Amino acid sequence: MTIKLLKQLIKYSYNNNMLNPKNVNRIANLLNRNDLKLYIRAIKIQERKLSVFIDTPMNNMKLKEKFKDTFPHKNIYFRNDPSLMLGARITADDMILDINLNNTLESIIKFVEEDYD
């Protein structure tokens, strides 16, 4: 399978940035085992590109609306992570932004230890 054909199959698999199960099943039934593996891998990569994962200590409906404005045309998934203290971890494609009180406190302690020894 060529890369060009794979890109066309991925494009056909989506409608409005949402995976279309009927089209995926249609394509999967026509592929041999090796091509199916390539297709599944390409679908996973595309899903990662179209998704934003936001970990917060608690669910907040107001946050959802703000992030929808910040990341238009992306599927936003919220997950609870009680280990985060007053912050969030945002994963968009291969970029991770980790903002929380615990990291801030650790940075302050590290700065003080390095500069005042």
Q: Residue ranges per domain, the chain?
A: 3-49, 52-115
Question: Tell me, what's the pLDDT at 10?
Answer: 92
Question: Which residues of the chain, if any, have pLDDT below 70?
Answer: 60-61, 117
pTM of the entire predicted model: 0.67
**Each residue's pLDDT tens digit, 10-40:** 999 998 888 999 999 999 999 999 999 999 9
Distance CA 80, CA 96 (A): 16
